[in-house]
Structure 1
Amino acid sequence: MGRIIGRRKRRKASRALAAGSPPQHPVALPPRKPDSLRARAFGLGLAGTGAAHFTAPQAFDPLTARAFPRATRRWTYRNGLTEVVLGLAITFRRSRPLGSVGFIAYLAFLAARFSGARPVEQSGTVAW
């Protein structure tokens, strides 16, 4: 019910402004805080690193093979896509909270994969 009344008030106020008369109860919007340059730079850097997974996957394969010994190239592409999506989410202010939570979850996933990783020989087989 309160939302309907709020809509009516906003609609009435916008009509009054369009007609040229000042509104009865002016609304003061708080100024927006400046956007975080660090967060934008981090997000773009993460997205750029993710894009590099597609342009030069062979550079990421040795590191990826430690955590993902099977289908390493596929996991390289998956990690690249994840980093692009999370990086773009962190870059933009509206999606930054979701991107930050996703990034923390992604770090936890990678940490779990690397902590349980087994050493890999050059041939790609697991060394025991």
Structure 2
Amino acid sequence: MNGRKRKAKQALVSGRASKTPVVLKVRTPDSLPARVIGLGLAGTGAAHFTAPRAFDTLTATAFPEKTRQWTYRNGFTELLLGLAITFRRTRPVGAIGSVAYVAFLANRVSSQR
């Protein structure tokens, strides 16, 4: 803690007002479940590239044409969304993107049936 912050803290404890107020930024603790979900989703997205055949049958239900290409696209999307959810700063964007992605996939599956 630098000298200015220490003096401001001592002034606050003693009840005196500091001449140069210091704003202490307090961060909320990071969410472990969100990090685990984000890393799991990113890992699943990466697995689309290492073992695409495992995902082709599932992908074919929503994307019967150019299935392998869509397998890679979905893997890339899941990798990006998972990484966005993993980090606190980009978590809101990742959450909104995940909802949009699930809605897109649901729309594709329902339109193919």
* Length-normalised TM-score, structure 2: 0.82
Larger Rg: 1
Q: What is the aligned length?
A: 100
Look up the match of 2:105: 110
**Percent of residue pairs bearing the same amino acid type:** 66
Q: Is residue 2:51 matched to residue 1:56?
A: yes
Look up the match of 1:83: 78
What stretches of structure 2 of length at least 5 have no aligned partner? 9-17
**Comparing both structures, which one devotes a greater share of its residues to helix?**
2
- Displacement over 3 Å in runs of 4+: none
2:48 is matched by which residue type in structure 1?
H
Look up the match of 1:13: none
Query: What RMSD, in angstroms, separates the aligned Cα atoms of the two structures?
Result: 1.8
* Length-normalised TM-score, structure 1: 0.73
Q: What are the superposed Cα offsets for residues 51-99 of structure 1, whole Å, 9 maximum, x if unpaired?
A: 0000000000001001000000000000000000000000000000011
- Residue 30 of structure 1: how far off its partner (Å): 4.1
What stretches of structure 1 of length at least 5 have no aligned partner? 1-15, 119-128
